[in-house]
Structure 1
């Protein structure tokens, strides 16, 4: 039986899977992981106040969420010192990235991003028919000056920068980011993904200028707030840009329990500070474990640490596989120039104990295979 044809853009795309989830790996392996350190979730969990609010909300999950996200947007606006008209809530940053492409991207338009940066953004660009122009990392961080030069040369419609960066954990200070923003060509929208900014040093996030329609800041409750399963993200920008999201977003796309949990979470900044402290301590321990085994941890402002395995990509792949075989779920970058690293998410002491025990044997296995 025949079917209607896909659009030319979709028909031309190969089968793409941005990430293979740990659940899929566990199904293939036939057993669970002992340490889940690959998805950059906050294993420390969310605010107990958020958990209590979500537990109470579950009894009324027969209701839809508030399609205007009014209370949550109000709380976010208060937290950042902007108006509610400058805030849109979406299904994580991922959902908002897709909507941004719908709003700004036409088939054939150029989009500049870093080779090896967050692949889900590339997924959305390809699905909308955009042309990806990839700039290599420099010194293990996004080469923002070159990104801006490339965007200017190509009259790019969009420029994607993550600060701090995933998968390396590197970052630019706010002062530098402000200078970069000032250098944007007028036809380019800067997508500033700040998913990990809560775990970054003070002075990393540039000021939010809601008068500038060229910059949209993207934040999430999935990382430091510990609500990855709730799928709640938000964007802050100039009011006419934010208003346009209402033309394309799924107004009932947010789940009500997550909406209520996020509201409680942003109101509990004391818990967030504790979680950020636990993440910082875990970064230090991951770095110590790596160094004790002759590997080189990279400085990180995120809730993970990238570790230079000291050889080539094949060696790092062997280390990764050996860790997976020992029930430790981690990931690694795949782009050339950073593919000799693995990436380990922050975890509790008991999670990092498993990693510390498995790593020496994993490295020994990798050496035998190299």
Structure 2
């Protein structure tokens, strides 16, 4: 086709679906790699993504190395051995557990399974943004409930679910981004308070680092509860993307209608099996995380800041000002090669969040935090 001078050609293009056409291009979390590329500042301390810098079990590393030559072969699409091990670990049936590409991938599948365009979905205002991303992607209507201090407000969440006729509610216990937790009794009462037709998505990513009595007893007879756990935190396998969900066999069976059956790769399955079997390393890692939380809290107090109690692998710190001041602290740390994150919702945004890490990285935090605070105060 010839284009006449002064005219531009209108080239037909495949249209997006009406729903997708309305969505912005979004990455829920900007990674430290992207920040380093944009700024040109080398990363010195990676303490913002709630990974475990303490690393995986040496037995996991050995198992992955031994399995690497078999990477030419597709993974088991049924994830049979891993699901059998998880079922034994949880004391449930294999048909009551599904494995997938981290909690993030499983959340997307859960939303796709149960949420139609226009359905009401309840979450806390400032809670995990990747869940919100999936709800928007499938046309759900999000209703945000403000936190009550540092805790998700269970009563308000249940009330909002009843008021809206919600199809789904999201709760993280322990909580991200605040690090708080509810005892098991409060969570069980919350489940009971929800309408039976409303599915609770209970994110227990930080369950291994929580105090005893935080996680409710496992009861897969509940018809409206899906619980999600991961190998990304205490087990130190965030880079391999392995998570699992468990609950009523009818709910779990729904994943077989839509999941990516080759989504959980061969080395990931091997790593998860080895990690699940190494109880000693898990105990060591949980202890190391607790010690690192204590040191982060000490560093915060030494600089006049207030650390919040944490049941997770990070510590949320009140900077004592407003959200703009906390953002300045975040930016000043980034200028010094220290990657952390912060809550963004009103009421939470005066905080910053720092991941547990080995002493070598916390030494850098101890060096740079007072510098960042002075610079932020001078710029504020």
Structure 1 residue ranges (4+ consecutive) displaced by more than 4 angstroms after TM superposition: none
Secondary structure at the counterpart of residue 282 of structure 2: helix
Deviations 1:215-253 (A, max 9, x none): 000000011100001101000110011111000000011
Structure 2 residue aligned with 1:61, among 71, 74, 80? 71
Instruction: Report the 3-state secondary structure (helix = DSSP H, G, I; strand = E; otherwise coil) of the residue aligned with 1:342.
Output: strand
Q: 1:110 aligns with which of 104, 120, 145?
A: 120
**2:258 corresponding residue in structure 1:** 248
Q: Which residue of 2 aligns with 1:157?
A: 167
Partner of 2:351: 341
What is the CA-CA distance between 1:286 and the residue it aligns to? 0.2
- Give structure 1 stretches of 5+ with no counterpart: none
Q: Is the 8 A contact 2:196 2:223 kept in 1?
A: no
Is the partner of 2:95 in helix, strand or coil?
helix
- What RMSD over aligned residues (CA atoms) do the two structures have, in Å? 0.7
Match of 2:95 in 1: 85
Residue 137 in structure 1 maps to residue 147 in structure 2 = yes
1:213 aligns with 2:211: no
Q: Counterpart of 2:30 in 1: which secondary structure?
A: coil
The whole-number CA distance in structure 2 between the counterparts of 1:145 and 1:277 is: 33
2: CA distance, partners of 1:66 / 1:17: 30
- Displacement of 1:198: 0.4
Q: TM-score, normalised by structure 1?
A: 0.99
1:192 and 2:202 correspond: yes
- Tell me the secondary structure at the aligned position of residue 366 of structure 2: helix
Q: Do the aligned residues in 1 keep the contact of 2:330 with 2:352 (CA within 8 Å)? A: yes
Alignment correspondent of 1:182: 192
Q: Distance in 2 between matches of 1:101 and 1:236?
A: 15
Q: Normalising to structure 2: TM-score of the pair?
A: 0.96
Mapped partners of 2:223, 2:196: distance in 1: 10
Query: Counterpart of 2:228 in 1: which secondary structure?
Result: strand
Residues 51, 355 of structure 2: 8 Å contact kept: yes
- Residue in 1 that maps onto 2:181: 171
Aligned counterparts of 1:273 and 1:174: Cα–Cα separation in 2: 21
1:241-275 CA distance string (max 9 Å, x none): 11110000000111110110001000111110100
- SS at structure 2 position matched to 1:42: coil
Is the 8 Å Cα contact of residues 41 and 335 (structure 2) preserved in structure 1? Answer: no
Equivalent in the alignment of 2:5:
none
- Alignment match of 2:274 (pick from 252, 264, 267): 264
CA–CA distance in structure 2, aligned partners of residues 186 and 178 of structure 1: 14
2:245 is matched with 235
- Structure showing greater radius of gyration is 2
